[in-house]
């Protein structure tokens, strides 16, 4: 098969941001996640938890709470502003000032007519949800102390608010506080500090469940305002609560990184009177669990340790299926690394800056398994700080290394890089065409003469680049009517084709010579996670969130023979069970039958000339093959050559000199940069 020299890069200090809030929309099966840097991500739980959309953050716009209203997503934060997000253009649509100081929580009634926000000044503010915006309606009675958490009664007539040392129940109609539920402070030293009610849940039978900073989960009777039961869950804080749709289960997240489940069941079998009983404890986090969502089948949790964890409830899913597997989503499902194949440069995208690195060199030869002596160390050539408050949403480096571009939600910037010897000079291109304003994805053509930018309504702006200026050429559009953003762009090596994929699962191919739509690939039910056009055969390879692989001939406008064969035989079960999407597809110029693709935990070279693995064959067979004699090896080998030596991959790319670049970001390194978790007594410490 072949030897590869691998540049194993671990100097990309990518640091994901902590998760602050999550909101699950059971109707669309979408989960919105807000991070500490203000970014909002949307995951499609119907489609293998694929991260469909990322709305970049902004300095000083920490989102404290998220709320779905139908298909609309609202967020609010400590800057005191309510934001509705534009999920088509991946940017805030508008913001509304609440005038109540920092907003701690936002909640929508089950009818979808009103939003309630809890403010620092002690008011609960009601907003009416209109078609295109929201309208302030009224304040409920102002209380002393901030409103930390809110929960509507399903009827919409009452609302419970978690505050300092107490819970208030308001009548929405009159705005008056009807009940005051005093929450006991913690024992010992913490008796002098106020207790914060971090989470409150108002159930339809008027039961109120609260979680507080003293580590208690308490069950109250909302109609009488009496405490029913106290569960001491942790020595530290209970930070989040979430209830299942049928109100039979409540989960609480703690500072210790645990999630505790309570279920409304009868204490003894066969008895009718039910009770809230603490049932399960999940420990999937090392740090605070700040955000929780209770879906029908799973507990979704996130927090300081930046990972989103989907823990299926085993009584709700079929055992030993893919659905029952624990998922940890640690890395974004899009590439933050751009590789200039010809120049040996790497571009790393951070939210507030870009780093340009030159790869090292080695002149040694080695046998497989060796580490070669590094003759020249990799060097950071440049660090480019972004301008403005908006975080970087996408970036690109041209294959020759001569152009660099990045975009925020408000602007696009393009730079010309000039290399002489070891110095790089950078010049900002001014007077960019006005069509380049708000883009979601950037990409250079392989000869670096064009810049493609995905713009609003699934369109793609084509800009011609020359030394002196950049000129708007055309806007590529299709007529399918989809308004979803394009999240993948892939030009062909010969400059003839451009393939785009949007989150409506559509793949369009444009003819760049004629500047018009060439064809649309039949829509497959799962979102494409990576697409690429083969340099010689002009076949389009698409890999989807459900791990399916298709090969589509652009000339014949039909699926290729190999693709049909693959679909007929089916992919190997172990391939389908992988839980991270393939984020990059590329080809080996030395062997046109090789397709190189990678996910977080492996990279794979698919050799189209070899037989496909059958269900019973061993998929991960590299170790076996290594030990076999050559003749036997040929008999045993199959098309999927999977290398798992490198883990936590952010990028795998083939350079022009046939060496592979592998960018790893070990989770341990990320963990090492997190603040210390709360101290817990552990055995023998």
Q: Note the residues at the interface with other proteins (CB under 8 A).
A: 1-11, 360, 362, 366-372, 374, 377-378, 605, 622, 625-626, 633, 637, 641, 643, 645
Q: Which is nearer to other proteins, 7 or 518 (CB)?
A: 7
| Concatenated DSSP letters of 502-557 | ETTS-EEEEETTTTEEEEEEPPPSS-EEEEEE-TTT-EEEEEETTS-EEEEETTTT
Min CB(337)–other proteins separation in Å: 14
The closest alpha carbon to 444, from 343, 595, 331, 583, belongs to 343
The Cα angle at residue 399 between residues 397 and 403, in degrees rounded to 5: 45
The CA distance from 296 to 308, in Å, is 17
Q: Which is nearer to other proteins, 348 or 510 (CB)?
A: 348
The CA distance from 56 to 33, in Å, is 12
Min CB(644)–other proteins separation in Å: 11
Dihedral angle at the C-alpha atoms of 86, 90, 93, 94, nearest 10 degrees?
130
Q: Looking at the DSSP assignment, which residues form a beta bridge with residue 519? A: 509
Q: Which is nearer to other proteins, 317 or 574 (CB)?
A: 574
Q: Measured between alpha carbons, how far is residue 245 from residues 26, 104, 154, 295 in Å? A: 9, 23, 11, 8
Min CB(657)–other proteins separation in Å: 12
Q: Which is nearer to other proteins, 270 or 369 (CB)?
A: 369
Q: Which is nearer to other proteins, 7 or 341 (CB)?
A: 7
Neighbouring C-alpha atoms within 13 Å toward the C-beta of 662:
24
Min CB(89)–other proteins separation in Å: 38
The CA distance from 659 to 249, in Å, is 53
Beta-carbon count within 10 A of 506 CB: 22
Dihedral angle at the C-alpha atoms of 357, 358, 359, 360, nearest 10 degrees?
-120
Min CB(141)–other proteins separation in Å: 58
Min CB(596)–other proteins separation in Å: 10
Q: Which is nearer to other proteins, 368 or 481 (CB)?
A: 368
Q: Which is nearer to other proteins, 231 or 594 (CB)?
A: 594
Maximum separation of any 2 CA atoms in the chain, in Å: 84
DSSP 58: B
Min CB(630)–other proteins separation in Å: 9
Min CB(617)–other proteins separation in Å: 14
Min CB(298)–other proteins separation in Å: 34
Q: How close are the terminal C-alpha atoms of the chain, in Å?
A: 50
Task: Print the SS3 string covering 166-208.
Answer: EEEEEECCCCCEEEEEECCCCCHHHHHCCCEEEEEEECCCCEE
Rounded to 5 degrees, φ, ψ at 612 are -75, 150
Q: Which is nearer to other proteins, 130 or 668 (CB)?
A: 668
Min CB(112)–other proteins separation in Å: 51
Q: Which is nearer to other proteins, 319 or 377 (CB)?
A: 377
Q: Which is nearer to other proteins, 540 or 602 (CB)?
A: 602
């Amino acid at each position: 098969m072949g030897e590869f020299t691998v540049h194993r890069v671990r100097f990309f200090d990518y640091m994901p941001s902590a998760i602050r809030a999550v909101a699950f929309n059971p109707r669309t099966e979408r989960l919105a996640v807000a991070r500490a840097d203000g970014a909002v991500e949307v995951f499609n739980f119907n489609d293998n938890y694929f991260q469909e959309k990322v709305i970049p953050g902004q300095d000083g716009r920490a989102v404290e709470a998220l709320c779905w209203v139908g298909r609309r997503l609202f967020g609010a934060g400590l800057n005191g502003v309510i934001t509705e997000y534009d999920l088509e253009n991946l940017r805030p649509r508008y913001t509304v000032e609440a005038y109540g100081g920092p907003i701690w929580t936002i909640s929508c009634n089950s009818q979808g007519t009103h939003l309630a926000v809890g403010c620092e000044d002690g008011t609960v503010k009601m907003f009416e949800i209109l078609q295109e915006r929201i309208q302030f309606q009224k304040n409920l009675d102002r209380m002393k102390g901030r409103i930390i958490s809110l929960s509507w009664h399903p009827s919409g007539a009452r609302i419970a608010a978690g505050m300092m040392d107490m819970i208030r129940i308001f009548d929405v109609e009159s705005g008056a506080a009807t009940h005051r539920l005093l929450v006991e402070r913690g024992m010992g030293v913490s008796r002098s500090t106020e207790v914060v009610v971090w989470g409150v849940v108002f159930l339809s039978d008027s039961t109120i469940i609260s979680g507080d900073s003293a580590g208690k989960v308490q069950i109250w009777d909302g109609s009488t305002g009496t405490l029913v039961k106290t569960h001491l869950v942790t020595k530290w804080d209970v930070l989040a609560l979430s209830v299942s749709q049928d109100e039979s289960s409540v989960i609480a997240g703690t500072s210790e990184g645990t999630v505790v489940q309570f279920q409304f069941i009868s204490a003894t079998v066969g008895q009718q009177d039910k009770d809230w009983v603490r049932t399960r404890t999940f420990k999937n986090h090392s740090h605070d669990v700040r955000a929780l969502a209770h879906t029908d089948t799973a507990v979704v949790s996130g927090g300081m340790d930046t990972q989103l964890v989907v823990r299926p409830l085993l009584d709700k899913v079929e055992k030993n299926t893919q659905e029952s597997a624990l998922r940890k989503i640690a890395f974004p499902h899009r590439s933050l690394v751009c590789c200039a194949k010809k120049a040996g440069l790497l571009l790393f995208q951070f939210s507030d800056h870009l780093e340009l690195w030159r790869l090292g060199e080695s002149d040694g030869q080695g046998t497989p398994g060796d580490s070669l002596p590094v003759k020249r160390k990799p060097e950071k050539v440049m660090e480019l700080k972004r301008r403005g408050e908006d975080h970087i949403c996408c970036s690109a480096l041209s294959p020759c290394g001569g152009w660099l571009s990045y975009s925020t939600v408000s602007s696009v910037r393009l730079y010309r890089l000039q290399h002489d010897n070891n110095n790089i000079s950078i010049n900002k291109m001014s007077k960019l065409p006005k069509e380049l304003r708000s883009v979601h994805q950037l990409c250079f053509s392989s000869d670096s003469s064009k810049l493609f930018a995905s713009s609003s309504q699934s369109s793609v702006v084509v800009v011609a680049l020359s030394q002196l200026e950049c000129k708007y050429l055309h806007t590529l559009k299709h007529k399918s009517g989809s308004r979803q953003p394009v999240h993948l762009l892939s030009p062909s090596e010969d400059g003839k084709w451009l393939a785009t994929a949007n989150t409506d699962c559509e793949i369009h191919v444009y003819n760049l010579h004629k500047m018009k739509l060439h064809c649309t690939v039949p829509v497959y039910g799962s979102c494409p996670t990576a697409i690429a056009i083969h340099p010689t055969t002009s076949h389009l390879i698409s890999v989807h969130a459900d791990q399916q692989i298709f090969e589509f001939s652009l000339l014949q406008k039909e699926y290729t023979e190999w693709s049909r064969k693959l679909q007929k035989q089916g992919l190997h079960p172990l391939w389908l069970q992988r839980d991270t999407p393939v984020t990059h597809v590329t080809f080996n110029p030395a062997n046109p039958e090789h397709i190189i693709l990678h996910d977080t935990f492996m990279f794979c070279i698919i050799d189209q000339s070899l037989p496909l693995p059958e269900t019973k064959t061993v998929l991960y067979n590299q170790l076996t093959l290594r030990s076999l004699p050559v003749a036997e090896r040929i008999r045993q080998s199959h098309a999927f050559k999977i290398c798992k030596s490198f883990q936590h991959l952010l990028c795998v790319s083939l350079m022009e000199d046939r060496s592979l670049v592998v960018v790893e970001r070990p989770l341990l390194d990320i963990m090492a940069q997190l603040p210390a978790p709360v101290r817990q007594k552990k055995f023998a410490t």
